[in-house]
Structure 1
Amino acid sequence: MDNDFIAETAARFDIPGAAVGVFHDGREHFHCHGVTSLENPLPVNEDTLFLLGSVTKTYTATAIMRLVAQGRMSLDSPVREHVPELRLADDRSFTVRQLLNHTSGLDWGTMSDSGEGDDALARHVDGLAGLKLVAAVGERPSYSQSGFNLAGRIIENVTGQTYEQAITTLLLEPLGLGDTHFDRDAVMTRRFAVGHEKGEVARPWRHWRANNPGGGIAASVADVLRWARFHLGDNGLEEMRRPTAVLRGSNLGDAIGVSWFLREIDGVQAIGHGGSSNGQFAEMLIVPSRNFAVVSVANQGPDGIPFNQAVVRAALEDFLGVLDRDPEPLQYNASAASEVAGGYENDAMVMTIDDTGSGLVLEVLIRPEIRESAEVDLPADHAPFPVGLLPRDEYMITSGAFAGQRGFFTRDAAGAIIGVDLAGRMFGRVR
């Protein structure tokens, strides 16, 4: 993999700017391409700040592990022990570990802005009483942004600091991550990328502060690679890599540790996490047994995701000889297609799976009422995606920006399909 490959791949996916970092055989390699913004362009370099989206969750979980190591809390203590003000739609009790492996049963999240003050997370937690609950505690993983925002509130209550101050004290300063920031004022004085959607600058640059624990970091690819190298080291964080919940039909991984997604790729074990912001995308993959890490960031949606995937796969093959390939979908079957076709929904989105008579097509739309009530512009909806079925009630998107994305269908005791998972999020069937 070289600069020409990055440039060619960026051109194929129409990416304005991207940065890639690889750590292998004790050396760092950086490849940068394009510009920070189509409206106000500066060349992207290894110090350019990109929004990391959900890669931030690995920082939040690591900060909690630091507090555990200091004896200030336990992974298996009830969340309410640290956030006694928490009110939910029921009186369920779940542990910190279940929050960090997405098995608390909390839905994806709320779409309300709780402001930019130091009480942003406290106000967000106050609003969780209206959050939908999608499963019993420990029943299954269901990816939850609000769950990690709640984890950020745990950090605040345990440390007595704001979440951002605590992350700086526990992680950023000790590790020398000087190009990793939450504060917009810190970001705007440095070279930073802006997101794009289909060639247009995406606004706002970032959403509200309460989402910081689940997705608020802006960092350079050099700093993110340094973060990956920290997790390759002897740091007492091996428990984060141990599987705590199994994943089905997911390209995120085979299991979840403590925030990390765990995968076996061509016979080797890897840990990783991806992230999506408003027109910015990040992907990080670590292979501990080979002392290897790769980070890719891009500033164009929706094709930043397949760009990052192509880069990560090329790095695995070129540096390690490891091949990462998608499974082959089953041939179209009318009976199986009619069984899964229909409508599905969760608190933020509606999904339709249509049977065309020769294949399946999946469309996901943000709920109109969510768009109408949103105080900021939300990303544009994507065009429908062709879908192929896989064995064991699984499926895969076969082309488009999310090609390779996998999920699965859930059946009730009688065998009827009652839900579908996409990107770790549950959609219940609409009857």
Structure 2
Amino acid sequence: MSHDTLSEFVAATATRFGIPGAAVGVWVESREVYACHGVTSVENPVAVDPDTLFALGSVTKTYTASALMCLVAQGRVDLHAPVRRYVPELALADERAAAEVTVLQLLNHTSGLDWSVIVEPGEGNDALAGYVARLADLKLIAPPGTRVSYSQAGYNLAGRIVEKVTGLTYEQAVASLLTEPLGLSHSLFAPLDVMTRRFAVGHNRGEDGRLSIARPWRPGGRGNNPGSGLASSVRDQLRWARFHLGDGRAEGGERVLPAELLRSMTEPTVALRGSSAGQALGIAWFLRDVDGVRTAGHVGSSDGQFAELLTVPGRDFAVVSFANAGPDGTPFNQAVVRWALAHYLGVVDRDPEPVPYDAGRAAEIAGRYENDAMALVIATDGAGLTLEVGIKPEIRAGLAGEAPPDYPPAATGLLPGDGDEYLITEGGLTGQRGFFTRDATGGVVGVDFGGRLFTRVRTAVR
């Protein structure tokens, strides 16, 4: 495919979804192809280029995991060791869990920790230590190692391991172990560093359809850096993808990771159920079979910014897509990634078809579900199902600065099989999949959304 063809698709798709600025990179047949569209900000417009910085959100987790793998290679960390070997002060709501949770369980989201804790967004060198000190306040959703539930807290704790083992701040350690040897000069954590470069700001679309700037630029503060704090360019992210497709060496030949350890990151460690992210988790990477081809990838979001990175190890292929507006940044990235897979590799990625509406099954699952920070409502009007999700009012009130808007009710269908898996079919969450959890009596007690467990708190919403 020509550069113009990719550029045309990106421009048309960004226009269709109302995305002010987007950056896309493809690694195919040993060459890089880029397509950039639009501007960094609707208020202070600067053209997006391949070196424009976007907030990576949870794609940062691939860096935290890779930094820990570097320490594994050095013999300084054992993936199967308890976290307390490296963070002896760790306190959790359950003492047995605190004693037993392992490093690997943080990296494949089987730690049993809920999503996150809300802390003051400090920027000092003690911010991550302060975050970890608050983990005793966080609910445990399951004993360690018994189920998958996506956890920001788990990755922030993993970042604290990096600090304790290296004696450096998390950001210094990632630079020393990864970004400097790999030449990722446009990958930065500190907002004061980011602001000296060309960078995208997030946007959110209001009820009137107009876009507004998402403020603050990076919510959550430095204590969340291991889970979501990196800003980077599409050019750097394509280089990052190429590193993970390679043999563990930097482009100049310097050994960063042993090849076998690098490959182990894309080997399944735990199976996933009903997930749009994939069928299994490696170490940080979500593994998915698409049209008979194995992929490894990760997505991320920050307030009004969305990122997706997908690799196809067997084809030496990668695609990176950034968008700077919600709620349609995720559907935009998904459309770009699917187009790239189809046009460059002939690999077709489609959502499954929901089954016809069943009033009995709908009534069984309709209700309110919550985790530590968010609430999810599934409702039925007798003809269809909808799903809405948003930040709890008490959490929103305690956040510094503005928070992203909630996702309004969106059409949702149940998938073939046992009736416990679902697919969102419209809006900014289009394509998201999940499943319902039942107790020993068969009653629906929870729902997985975005890989996170939400516990049922009310029996029905009609």
TM range, normalised to the smaller chain?
over 0.9
Per-residue deviation, residues 342-377 of structure 1 (Å, max 9, x unmatched): 111111111111111001111112111111122221
1:94 partnered with 2:121: no
Which of 20, 26, 30 is matched with 1:26 structurally?
30
1:358 partnered with 2:383: yes
Per-residue deviation, residues 133-178 of structure 1 (Å, max 9, x unmatched): 1112111110000110000000000000000000000001110111
Q: Distance in 1 between matches of 2:61 and 2:125?
A: 20
After the TM superposition, which residues 118-137 of structure 1 pair with which residues of structure 2 at under 5 Å, given as runs?
Answer: 118-137=125-144
Which of 227, 230, 233 is matched with 2:246 structurally?
233
Which of 427, 431, 439 is matched with 1:404 structurally?
431
Alpha-carbon offset, residue 38 of structure 1: 0.3
Task: Note if contact 2:390-2:406 (Cα within 8 Å) is conserved in structure 1.
Answer: yes
Question: Which residue identity lines up with residue 4 of structure 1 in the other structure?
Answer: E
Task: Note if contact 2:423-2:432 (Cα within 8 Å) is conserved in structure 1.
Answer: yes
Long gaps (5+) in structure 1: none
Aligned residue in 2 for 1:387: 412
1:189 partnered with 2:196: yes
Task: Note if contact 2:327-2:427 (Cα within 8 Å) is conserved in structure 1.
Answer: no
Which of 201, 212, 233 is matched with 1:200 structurally?
212
Which of 57, 60, 70 is matched with 2:64 structurally?
60
Question: Which residue identity lines up with residue 192 of structure 2 in the other structure?
Answer: D
Q: Please, what is the CA RMSD of the aligned residues?
A: 0.8
Which of 164, 169, 179 is matched with 2:176 structurally?
169
Alpha-carbon offset, residue 114 of structure 1: 4.8
1:151 partnered with 2:158: yes
Q: Residue 401 of structure 1: SS of its match in structure 2?
A: helix
Alpha-carbon offset, residue 120 of structure 1: 0.3
Aligned residue in 2 for 1:320: 345
Q: Residue 23 of structure 2: SS of its match in structure 1?
A: strand
Q: Distance in 2 between matches of 1:196 and 1:375?
A: 17
Question: Which residue identity lines up with residue 111 of structure 2 in the other structure?
Answer: S
1:367 partnered with 2:392: yes
Q: Residue 354 of structure 1: SS of its match in structure 2?
A: strand
Which of 123, 135, 145 is matched with 1:116 structurally?
123
Aligned residue in 2 for 1:290: 315
Which of 180, 187, 191 is matched with 2:187 structurally?
180
Task: Note if contact 1:114-1:121 (Cα within 8 Å) is conserved in structure 2.
Answer: no
Per-residue deviation, residues 169-218 of structure 1 (Å, max 9, x unmatched): 00011101111100112111110000000111100000201110001111
Question: Which residue identity lines up with residue 188 of structure 2 in the other structure?
Answer: H
Q: Distance in 1 between matches of 2:75 and 2:323?
A: 39
- 4+ residue stretches of structure 1 with deviation over 6 A? none
Aligned residue in 1 for 2:254: none
Aligned residue in 2 for 1:422: 449
Question: Which residue identity lines up with residue 244 of structure 2 in the other structure?
Answer: H
Aligned residue in 1 for 2:251: none
Which of 277, 283, 288 is matched with 1:252 structurally?
277
Task: Note if contact 1:52-1:277 (Cα within 8 Å) is conserved in structure 2.
Answer: yes
Alpha-carbon offset, residue 383 of structure 1: 1.1
Per-residue deviation, residues 356-404 of structure 1 (Å, max 9, x unmatched): 1001111112111111122221111121111100123100001111111
More deviation, 43-52/376-385: 376-385
Q: Distance in 1 between matches of 2:436 and 2:201?
A: 36
Q: Distance in 2 between matches of 1:102 and 1:301?
A: 26
**TM-score, normalising length: structure 1:** 0.99
Question: Which residue identity lines up with residue 143 of structure 1 in the other structure?
Answer: Y
Q: Distance in 2 between matches of 1:342 and 1:189?
A: 47
Aligned residue in 2 for 1:215: 228
Q: Residue 175 of structure 1: SS of its match in structure 2?
A: coil
Which of 10, 14, 20 is matched with 1:10 structurally?
14
Task: Note if contact 2:53-2:194 (Cα within 8 Å) is conserved in structure 1.
Answer: yes
Question: Which residue identity lines up with residue 219 of structure 1 in the other structure?
Answer: S
Task: Note if contact 1:20-1:297 (Cα within 8 Å) is conserved in structure 2.
Answer: yes
Task: Note if contact 2:410-2:424 (Cα within 8 Å) is conserved in structure 1.
Answer: yes
Q: Distance in 2 between matches of 1:280 and 1:330?
A: 33
Q: Distance in 1 between matches of 2:60 and 2:384?
A: 37
Q: Distance in 2 between matches of 1:328 and 1:111?
A: 38
Q: Distance in 1 between matches of 2:430 and 2:195?
A: 34
Task: Note if contact 1:114-1:124 (Cα within 8 Å) is conserved in structure 2.
Answer: no
Q: Distance in 1 between matches of 2:168 and 2:396?
A: 34
Q: Distance in 2 between matches of 1:253 and 1:135?
A: 22
Q: Distance in 1 between matches of 2:263 and 2:153?
A: 25
Task: Note if contact 2:25-2:321 (Cα within 8 Å) is conserved in structure 1.
Answer: yes
Per-residue deviation, residues 17-69 of structure 1 (Å, max 9, x unmatched): 00000000100000000000000000000010011000000000000000000
Q: Distance in 2 between matches of 1:363 and 1:223?
A: 35
Question: Which residue identity lines up with residue 218 of structure 2 in the other structure?
Answer: R
Per-residue deviation, residues 75-106 of structure 1 (Å, max 9, x unmatched): 11110111111100011111100100000000
Question: Which residue identity lines up with residue 190 of structure 2 in the other structure?
Answer: D
